[in-house]
Structures are given as C-alpha cells and as structure tokens.
A and B are shown apart, each in its own frame.
Chain A
Amino acid sequence: MTGYLLRRTGQSVVVLAGVSVIVFALVHLVPGDPVRLALGTRFDQETYDALRARAGLDQPLAEQFLGWSGRALTGDLGVSFRSGETVTSLIAERLPATLTLAFASILVALLIAVPLGTLSALHPRSVVDRVATVLSQIGISVPDFWMAIVLILVFAGTLGWLPSGGYVPLTEDPVGWLERLVMPALVVGVVSGSVITRFVRSSVLEARGADHVRTAQAKGLPSRHVFGWHVLRNALLPLVTVTGVQLAYLLSGVVVVEIVFAWPGLGQLALQAVQARDYPVLQGAILLFALVFLVINLVVDLLYTAIDPRIRR
C-alpha cells in the first residue's frame, strides 16, 4: 500500500512538472499585453517600459520560466501584476469560499442523485423513472445563471427570506454563512446532481443485471441484502469516479454562479486573471487546479481499493 502511494505521488509530481511547462507556455502564447491592459490607453512610452521591466516581462521567456518555476518549488508563486499582492495570498483568501461551495454543492448533488438514480434503476420505465429522467434533463439544460437569477429574484427579492448574495466565514457568523450558502449550493448542486443521477441510474441498472446478483437472488437471499451488498456496492465504483470528477471541477471554481451570487471564489480570480493577462495569478491558479485534479484522482483510486479489494494489485 505504501509502495502504491509513493508510486502514485511520484507520478503526480512528474505530471505537475509537465503541466507547469505547458501552462507557462500557453499563458504567454495567448495574445494580449498585460502591461497595456494595466496602463489603459493613456500613458507614455517611458511608463510602459518601466512597468514592463518591473514585471520582469522584458526578460527572455526561458529565463522567466526558470525563475518562476524555481521560486514555485519553494512555494513562492510570484506577485500579481494587477493587485501587487502575492499569488499565494490571493488564492488563500478565496480558498475557503471555494471549498465551502464545492463541498456543499456535492452534498446537495448526492442527496438528489443517489435516491433519484436508485429509484429509477429499481423501477425502470416506470413513472418514477420517467419523472427522474425529465428532472435530470431539466437540471442539465437550464442555464445556471438563469436559475441563479430566478432564485435571487424570488427568495431575496419577492419573499425576502435570504440575502441576495455575498459570503461570510462560518467562524464569524454561522447563520449568515448558511443563509448565503443555500442558493449557490442549490444551483451548483442541482446541475451536478443531474449529471450524477444518470450515472447512478445506469450503474445500478447494470449491477442489477450482473450474473452474481441473479445467483444471489436465485439462492433466495433477501432482496434487501442483495441490493445492499451485491448491487449497491458494485454500483458505487462509477459513482465515486463521477463524484470525484465533479468535485475537482467545482473546486476549480464555478465562475457563473460565483459572479451572480457575489461569491468570492477561485473561479472569479481565474477569470479576472485571464482578462488582465495577469500571468502569475493565472499560472498559480491553473497549477492549483491541476494539483486538485491529481489529488482527487489519487483519493478516488484509493477509495476503489477500499470498495473493491481486487483492484489493490
């Protein structure tokens, strides 16, 4: 097990190094000049040259990369062109909000997907199944920004039950935290949940049709036992995979929902960095997202081995 972990961690480091090269190259290849964006349209050439030099953009690209990656190894991701703050502090400032929303949304998604998907699979082509299919279709196709604005207009506007948006830390104001979390988590959770529902349905259906389940039923095992032990456990593998992918995706920020609900997450930070061509922030954010995917993949693989011991070899 330790060997497996070490090997996987080693692989992740190699992937991360590769990602950093690609990210650096891509970010610098995108057209657009961060210095011009920072200065606007009224400035003189001396100002332009001075800012370019201060940002280190007058150095050859290879030199810039070596400097950046060397510092990144020590945990120093550089300083934002736009705000003058360190990239690590900008990310750290937004991380709690992103973690909160991602985990709350996944919770909502699973609370929707597992019962709904299972029910559909247990009664295929029944009314329940059809309703579930239509609902998940709606969840996937309704644009999230639209759902978000409707929720704001109804629950913050007409009914006045919830604040229209924003974020407060749990430690400062638990009630305010929850009030502000409800709507964004619902919007993101419904979208993710709709995707996951379909996976749950198909994997439960598949597991139900498996030979060993038929054998178990033929042996006369109680259906509760058959379902719990033989169906659900086998259906869990794809569910863990898709949930992991969804979570990794949510952890890299949900731009639209963050903007509509004024939720200070990483998605907004990354979007602003793209628009300002703020290379250090963009590189730092993408590197973090890559890291999140690697870690979650690793966790998912470890969960596999717990659910299905045969994979351990």
Chain B
Amino acid sequence: MRSNRLLPLLAAGALVLSACGGGESVDTGGGGGGGGGGGDNVLVAAVAAQPDQFDPHVTTAYPSFQVLENVYDTLVVPNPEDLTMEPSLATEWETSEDGLTWTFTLRDGVTFHDGSEFDSADVVYSYRRIIDEELSNAYRFANVTAVEAPDPQTVVLRLSQPTPNLLERIGSFKGMAILPDGAADQVDLTTEAVGTGPFRLESSDASSTVLTAYEDHWGGAPSVDGVEFRYITEPAAALTALQNGEVQWTDNIPPQQIESLEGDDSIELQTTPSVDYWYMSMNYERPPFDNRDVRRAISFAVDRAAVAEAAWFGAAQPNQTAIPQDSFFYSDYAPFDRDPDQARQLLAQAGVQTPLTMGLMVTDEFPETVTAAQVVASQLEEVGITVEIETLDFATWLDRQGQGDFDAFLLGWLGNLDPAAYYQEQHVTGGSNNYQGYSNPEVDALLQQGATATDDAARKQAYDQAAQLIVDDVSYLYLYNPDVVQAWAPGLAGYQIRADKAINFETVELP
C-alpha cells in the first residue's frame, strides 16, 4: 500500500534522477469547476504529482517538465519518431571545420507570451543565466567557452572540444528553455512563465495547473483552448477518472492492469519502449565485489526477463546493455544467459565461500526497484548468495550512495537521448556518477572517442565497444528498459506517445 501511495511522489523523485530527461507528463489538481473539467474545449490530463516549481532552469522534477514542455521552446527539439534533433527556435545551424564553432540561425516572427519579439539576445541571456548562476543544467555547457550574438538572427556557441552531442545538450528537454532577456528580474519564474510555446501558464495551485492556448504561437495556435493538469497520485483513482470521463488523458496507470486494459474499449491505451534503463551496480571498494569473476557470477545468476516481468508485468524489455532496441545506438550484445552452474563455478574460481552475504540498497521512491530486488534476491539465493535487501527513503539512499556505503544498489537512468548520457559519467574513471568505482583505461579511451567523434557511425562503433567491456566487466548489471504507458479517451486525436516521455499537447484534439 505504501508503495502505491508513494508512486506519484516517486515520480517527483525520478525527476531528480532525470535532470537530463525529457519533459514529462504533468498533473494538475482540481481548482477548476465541476466534475467534467475545465471547459468545452479544454483537455484535462491526470498526472501523478504536482510540479515543484516552474523555473525551467532550476527544477529537475518530471511533473514540472510535463507542464513546461507545452509552455517553453528550445533552439532544437527531439523529433517525436526517433528523437533525433530537429529545428525549433533555430531553423538551421552549421559547424565549423574543427567542430569548435556552432552557428545557429534563429526563427523569424517568434513572440513571447508577453508579446515581445524573440531574438539572439534572449538566447544569450538564457544560456548565460544557466552558466553564470550555476543552475541545475550548467553541466550541459561544460564544453562551451562563449555564447555570442553577432546579429539578432544569429547565435554562435564556441567550444573547448568537438561536441557531437551539442544539440542533445541544448535541446533534449525544456530545462534548456529560452526565456526573454532579463526575465528573472521582471517576473517570478518559480510561479510564472514567459515562453514561446503553444500554451501560456495561466495558474497553478495545490490541485491543478491550468494552461491556455497562445494564439500567436509561431507554429500556429493549438487545437484546444487550454489544458488542465490535475494531480491524481493514486493510479487506480486516475484510471477511474479517465474511465468515467473526468479526465481525457493520463500517464498514471497501475502497471498490473496494463494487460487487462489493452482490450478495454472505454479507453485507448498505448505503450512504447522508453529511453530509460534500470540496472544493478556493485561496489568495487568492497571485496569480494571487486573481483570480476564474482560480479560475472552474479550477472549469470540473474534472469533479466523474470525481473522485468515482476517489476512491470510485461511492459518492459529485458536488455543486457543500456540503450533500448529502437535506438540507432542499440547494441545487441547479450552474453549473460541465466546459468546458475556457471555462476557457482565462477564463485568457486574466485575462492568465495558460500553462502556469501550481499547488501542490496533500494528505495521506496521507486517501488519497481523494491520488486526487482526481491526477484534478484531469490535468483541469487540459488547460487549461494544471500541478499539482504535494504529499503531506504530516497534522501538516505542518495547519502549512502554518495558515501560509497553499499555492497550493491538498484536504480535507473531516465530520459537518456545521446549515448554519452547512457555511458559517459557512469563508467569513465572518476566520473561524477561512477559510484561503483569502475576504472578501465580501454573504456575511458573509447568513451572519449565516442564523445568527440563527429561521425555517427564512428560514435556507434566506439560506444558498442565500450558497452561490451562495461557489460563483460559488470560495471553495471543492466536489467531492462521499461515502456512508456499512457492512456486517453477514445477519439482523442493528434497526440503522440514518445519514448522520451515528453508530453506535448500542441496538436491534440478532443473527441
């Protein structure tokens, strides 16, 4: 029960995790009107949690980005089909021969919600704000040495090293939104928004957030007059609200009901593989987990399909690497078929006395880690490893992770678009997210190659090789990629479910 109730809050925690994630879905709580929602042509969407705030450069919370996705724009934006970057506020761009200078041409005739014209000064202001004030996404500009505006239609970014994923850095989600020049001094960005997106932020309270259509949007006015994001944390309640017509869209579906809902005519349910992955990681500082054979034994002992089934009731794809199958960068490397005999043999070879006890740290912030840990524990028991599951609240969990106080933990990385986001900081020696303490000079070299090569084929080759080593060494024990699961009222048109969980209602039409 506890996990059920905490689900929405967990989503908020996930935001934390997915600083680089796509914009996700938002909920608005009540506030407006009676049972049927906002008005005749207003879409009511049930989201799992309240946005923490609306400053796109400060928040890291998914519920906030569910809303902000519809309010702000970025220079470039992931294509809904394959998540490659396409024009948005920038119409075209070119890269210098040495890869160190990127020149963007800005879109003409774009206005902010306050009526002011968009130009290059706004881009410089927005990017400088993130960099100079050290805001949440400052790390995305690590290679940027200058942001220049030679004329109102042009922005130039100068880099310290070639950065093939620069477009992903500045466009993968609305955390890199363009604000009007000086916005932070004129409005309270935590509660108000001045964007260029298809909807204006009208109001927000403890039960819902209300958006209204921006008629002068550069891409044309949206089809609906507005959107109300209602916060309904309990998935069973959100589903009931959808089924009885109180809301027309939700992403808060009880996982155990996904299968039975697929044949249900009262709602339209869709799933698509997400760009998230969940994994287990062991501490290289804690013997015997510093021993490659021990880690490989554990990797052979885990049945990923069973873990995915238990955590997501089939709405997840087992994967031995990080990148999901639909991606250009997917690697089909899968050397670890479940093999308890080989696991026992490797443990013996490593000189490990069984039963071996392993602490496994999970958090009720993400209930699927608790479920997954139980399955992993029963599978490891078979090869003589006793797993002691420690279920912590997320704050304590992060503390212990930061201090290196764990044998092993389970968690996920959400909203990854570029292979660098999947692999770089998690596995490079001394990487900021390399909590397990992995170090392999060969992997370091390959990751550097992948991060700077300007040709996609060369990048894919580098990351494929790096992924093989990471999997073989079991720096991460990859488990699965969950599906994005969303449902809406039958007859709702113009909405597209996306792998990055960005929720965009610009073209949605009510039944």
Contact = CB atoms under 8 A, between A and B. Distances in A.
Contacts of B236: 149, 152-153
Interface in B415-429: 425
A262 B134 contact: no
Contacts, number: 194
A305 to B, nearest CB: 38
A85 B5 CA distance: 25
B95 interface: no
B472 to A, nearest CB: 25
Given A39-B16, A149-B236, A152-B237, A277 B395 contact: yes
B12 A272 contact: yes
B305 interface: no
A291 interface: no
Contacts of A104: none
A60 to B, nearest CB: 21
Given A143-B1, A157-B243, A41 B17 contact: yes
A189 interface: no
A163 interface: yes
A204 B85 CA distance: 74
Contact of A164 (B8, B60, B244, B432): B244
Given A32-B395, A166-B232, A275-B394, 4 more contacts: A33-B395, A82-B52, A146-B1, A167-B207
A33 B399 contact: yes
A40 B207 contact: no
Interface of A: 30-34, 36-44, 46-47, 49-51, 82-85, 93-94, 97, 143, 145-146, 149, 152-153, 156-157, 160, 163-168, 172-173, 175-176, 179-180, 255-256, 259-262, 264, 268-269, 271-272, 275-277
Given A40-B19, A84-B55, A163-B246, A93 B206 contact: yes
Interface string B1-30: 100110011001101111110000000011
From B30, B134, B402, name the one whose CB has the most chain A CB atoms within 10 angstroms.
Answer: B30
A44 B135 CA distance: 10
B356 interface: no
Contacts of B33: 168, 172-173, 176
Interface stretch (B117-125, B136-144, B294-302, B339-347): B136-144
Contacts of A34: 395
A41 B58 contact: no
A44 B30 contact: no
Nearest to B206: A264
Contacts of B395: 30-34, 36-37, 275-277
Nearest to A166: B30
9 contacts: A39-B136, A41-B19, A43-B139, A46-B138, A82-B52, A153-B240, A164-B240, A173-B33, A272-B50
A275 B10 CA distance: 9
A260 B238 CA distance: 9
Given A93-B206, A167-B29, A262-B230, A46 B241 contact: no
From A152, A179, A259, name the one whose CB has the most chain B CB atoms within 10 angstroms.
Answer: A259
B29 A84 contact: no
Contacts of A152: 236-237, 240
B273 interface: no
From B8, B134, B139, name the one whose CB has the most chain A CB atoms within 10 angstroms.
Answer: B134
Contacts of A172: 33
A38 B398 CA distance: 11
A43 B136 contact: yes
B349 interface: no
A44 B206 contact: no
From B13, B133, B237, B244, name the one whose CB has the most chain A CB atoms within 10 angstroms.
Answer: B237
Contacts of A163: 34-35, 241, 246
Contacts of A31: 395-396, 399
Contacts of A166: 29-30, 207-208, 230, 232
Contact of B244 (A44, A157, A175): A157
A264 B29 contact: yes
A262 B30 contact: yes
A167 B31 CA distance: 6
B471 to A, nearest CB: 21
Contacts of B20: 42
A50 B232 contact: no
A37 B394 contact: yes
Given A37-B394, A47-B136, A149-B236, A85 B16 contact: no
Interface string B430-461: 00110000000000000000000000000000
Nearest to B233: A259
What 4 A-B pairs come out closest when comparing CB atoms? A32-B395, A264-B206, A84-B190, A166-B30
A85 B53 contact: yes
A186 to B, nearest CB: 15
A168 B399 contact: no
Nearest to B243: A157
A276 B365 CA distance: 11
B393 interface: yes
A256 B55 CA distance: 29
Contact of A84 (B53, B136, B230, B244): B53
Contact of A40 (B17, B55, B233): B17
Contacts of A83: 52-53, 190
A40 B234 contact: no
Contacts of B139: 42-44, 47
A232 B217 CA distance: 69
Contact of A262 (B17, B234, B432): B234
B231 interface: yes
Nearest to A79: B190
B205 interface: yes
Contacts of A33: 395, 398-399, 402
B327 interface: no
A271 B395 CA distance: 13
A262 B240 contact: no
A50 B232 CA distance: 34
B191 interface: yes
Contacts of A264: 29-30, 205-207, 231
Given A40-B18, A85-B53, A168 B30 contact: yes
B28 to A, nearest CB: 10
Contacts of A51: 134
Contacts of A50: 133-135
Contact of A165 (B52, B237, B413): B237
B393 A32 contact: yes
Contacts of B233: 259-260, 262
A134 B9 CA distance: 36
Contact of B398 (A32, A49, A149): A32
Interface in B165-221: 188, 190-191, 205-208
A160 B35 CA distance: 11
A262 B19 contact: no
A272 B30 CA distance: 18
Contact of B241 (A149, A164, A275): A164
Contacts of A259: 5, 8, 233-234
B19 A42 contact: yes
Given A84-B58, A93-B206, A275 B136 contact: no
Contacts of B191: 84-85
Nearest to A271: B9
